[in-house]
Structure 1
């Protein structure tokens, strides 16, 4: 996390997943109540050294080490939090003082502090210990959502692989020599990591699916999840099949799965180093440590679909079955990270393979432009989660002159469009395309996604098949010839919103006179579809408000949402 990410959290204010604590040199009295309420609800982030009004006061720098130690010790003690919660506090140097950040993941368990169960309700930690209805709802939600916590009463220690415990202890020791799990034996480790649990609603007790996935013998995993597999393929020359692959597909434990996928990436992608402060950093490792780790940590393991990592000449695409929280593009600045398998994630963090919640998106966005200059990753949250890592970078600005002429808008907007289009990334396969080839890529993608976004009211009788497009006179020179009028308006507005722009300027671009009709027919549908937003969203009637494209809108405009 960087200072801009910290400031973004502070600007949001306290709420369901953000809590400020004014602390100098000791742990605030309400700290552990909030830990429990975050764990029991949707997870969240605590900022120590920030008061209730969002003013940074900072913690006492001399107390940083003792604060960190006291928090870690307390959260690993069942006398304080039961079951224990493992966190890794870290500090950010804000201009007004040092802020300690504690990210609490949502848990598959129900936690209590000193016997009291708390739940998060907006910005409050509520005691629900005696509220039977809310407790019942909480148990049901946990049991139904986190499939990693499914208990298998007949799964025993004999079904686990002893060598994997030794490998796990070695990985943990190499990453953090004072990790509290290093003091545990195998059985204690499973209990402390909540891989052995008791369901207090139905009385079942035993090892969980997560335990089998991390430590299970291959035959154990295949017996529990007969359809589960992970594929790794290289498709550069033979794009219909493969040039190389992990053979046979991986149906093994998650530790070896991660190591084998990383080795496959290292085999087929080049190293690239750069100096970060005074350290030499391997960019390939930084990026794919996160990407591969996230694919494993966030997968829905009860799905029969496979996880696939495919390397082509222009990109790396990773897909895996998923339980989505929403559908669409993840904005690296505005998203709320949520672990899909919190107990599996705890182990990957202990191994040093993942960092704090949300680090995968943030770090990949940070390091990919250094590995592939100008490029940014794409993360699509859907029933199948998709990660796209471009290996070549091309943006719509490369074709700005052709695109601007094609839009046929007033020339006074040319400079605005040239600057804005440079921020619209195209599929990396377009790297050496002509303008005509790019357009043949974009129009079908716009139509496919436009018809899915019902609030857009996209005109469905739009020509979008290549052979039909080429029959339209001047199809690559005049957008008014190729796009139906409603669709042309939508794409023109979206293009102009590539940089912040006022409604009056948008209307002038189309010589449109009726503000209400323009807003209702075009701006409102684009906003409801998540393609554009106000620059001052908290004050929609502010006269200084402008419209700007979102990450979803950039991906739509650049043709990155095409399912092919």
Structure 2
């Protein structure tokens, strides 16, 4: 994009509806933000800034570039100069060793204004036209509004309707990721104006906070009043999808909902790691961050259909949400031109460092899935938007197999790979006679009145723990090849007979043999060698 040929093409094209050549040294011309506003309201464009474009190109010094760049950044964060805050690309490019300041301006999803919200411009040929006719203003408004309901102004919403704790949480997140962000020096109302969460509706002349502001920061009772059917369910499903082990329902703001969904993943799915340039990288949180941000950003919140995130019995996952369909077909992330559904929400989440540029999220999800599965993720854009993530099928490192030695006070297994663990299926079937011969106390048969298949599973679990030292439910499920419900029943029996016990926190603890279980396992191993 920034090759010499392309820069030469822009210079030769000169000023037109999507290109502007600006000659200056240290100061932006008075009409700079009018030009920026016009591009944003029309079809986007590109601006090149140099000392001179006449006859021979003369570029900027590094100091001049820095001064101009700072002026532009300060200006786009000043609601009096341009509102709402646009996202523009600012780059240094060189043409025949001459430094040029390059700006890429998108066709924005919002109507932008200058002069403290009083003036609207659009680009026609080489001229910035002041749009002061109400019919033309409504034409621009209607063009922008078609796909963007989060831009709607909600009457009578005031500052007291917002959750200040969530707002402070968002500002702390910006401070951690972007400590020089200009919003950190603004008060609440200034941030709302700068981000487009407060705006003037050109059709009704009403001004106020938008749907996006309510969804991001509204108190729970305010969100329920405006969106009575708003609900997001998180499910841990049973085998056959006819029930669930765990269910949580969220009806709160989108920022807290995002963190609640991440907590649900932490509770039910282990982290998994890959080696990237000799560095061990956990990809669970990175991948589900993209899944949930895409899930929350592109919903149709005016629909009565509750959204759902589900973890299946195989540890595959999927999200389903109502959607204003743009394609009504399956999506190929490598060849996808997305249509923004709630651009103001997406823009704000990008400022928090949570969201990617439009379209990049699906590509990152597909790249993450390739690390741990031979299957591809599925994305379908229809009346409901579906994202489906397959379960683990490749050799990866699981979190529970690299637990800190100091906390558990045990030796790490010789192998940390899921497929390297001894398979339950390698153990021989344990007969009733052998079980009775291996009693470690004077009680009756501990597996009395159980089926042969259940006895085989129970003794296999004991044999596995006798060799692997410890395990999680997920590892037992994958090794035994049964459902989570079946493993839960077998664990309950072993715990009742005090053969195994659970140590550690609920989210990341492990099952171990008790002293009684160790003795029982030794006898079983001796009789099966």
Instruction: Quickly name the TM-score band, shorter chain normalised.
Output: 0.5 to 0.7
Cα 1:59/1:318, change in 2 over 3 Å = farther
Task: Confirm or deny: 8 A CA contact 2:28 2:71 kept in the other structure.
Answer: no
Which residue number in structure 1 is paired with residue 319 of structure 2?
318
* Structure 1 portions without partners, runs of 5+: 50-57, 395-564
Given that 1:106 and 1:338 are in contact with CA atoms closer than 8 Å, whether structure 2 keeps it comes out as no
SS in 1 for 2:355: coil
Counterpart of 1:358 in structure 2 is 359
C-alpha contact (below 8 Å) 1:32/1:113 kept by paired residues: no
In the alignment, is the contact (CA less than 8 A) between 1:59 and 1:100 conserved in 2?
Answer: no
Equivalent position to 1:216, from 215, 218, 222 = 218
Instruction: State how far apart, in whole Å, the 2-side matches of 1:48 and 1:271 are.
Output: 46
Gaps of 5+ in 2: 11-16, 50-58, 395-529
Aligned with residue 175 of structure 2, among 170, 173, 176: 173
Query: C-alpha separation between the residues in 2 aligned to 1:255 and 1:206?
Result: 21
Matched, 1:110 2:127: no
Which residue of structure 2 lines up, in the alignment, with residue 376 of structure 1? 376
Shift of 1:261: 0.8
Change (3 A) 1:217 1:390: same
Residues 240, 67 of structure 1: alpha-carbon distance in 2 compared, 3 angstrom cutoff: farther
- CA–CA separation in structure 2 for the residues paired with 1:277 and 1:63: 39
Distance 1:81 1:275, change over 3 A: farther
Alpha-carbon separation, structure 2, partners of 1:32 and 1:196: 20
**Alpha-carbon distance between aligned partners in 2 of 1:92 and 1:373, rounded to the nearest angstrom:** 41
Distance change in 2, residues 1:45/1:222 (3 Å) = farther
Query: 1:333 and 1:113 mapped to 2: Cα distance?
Result: 41
Partner of 1:163: 165
Does the residue aligned with 2:335 lie in a helix, a strand or coil?
A: coil
> Aligned pair 1:194/2:181, yes or no?
no
| Alignment correspondent of 1:302 | 302
SS of the residue 2:141 aligns to = helix
Query: Cα offset for 1:310?
Result: 1.4
The CA deviation string for residues 340-368 of structure 1, in whole angstroms up to 9 with x for no partner, is 22221222112211122222122223332
1:72 Cα deviation (Å)?
A: 2.3
Q: Which residue does the alignment assign to 1:251?
A: 251
TM-score by length of 1: 0.56
Change (3 A) 1:130 1:101: closer
Q: 2:235 aligns with which of 233, 236, 239?
A: 233
After TM superposition, give the deviation of residue 252 of structure 1 in Å. Answer: 0.3
Structure 1 residue 27 displacement after superposition: 10
* Offset from partner CA, 1:519-541 (integer Å, 9 cap, x none): xxxxxxxxxxxxxxxxxxxxxxx
After superposition, give the CA deviation of every residue in 1:120-159 in whole Å (9 maximum; x if it has no partner).
78x9886362565432212234445422122222222222
Measure, in 2, the Cα distance between the counterparts of 1:335 and 1:125.
33
Cα-Cα RMSD: 4.3
Q: How far apart are residue 118 of structure 1 and its match?
A: 4.2
Q: TM-score, normalised by structure 2?
A: 0.59
Deviations 1:232-271 (CA, angstroms, capped at 9, x unpaired): 11225352121222x2x11001110010111212322332
Bigger-Rg structure (1/2): 2
Within 5 Å, which residues of 2 pair with 1:481-496?
A: none
Aligned match of 1:388: 388
Equivalenced residue count is: 375
2:207 alignment partner in structure 1 = 205
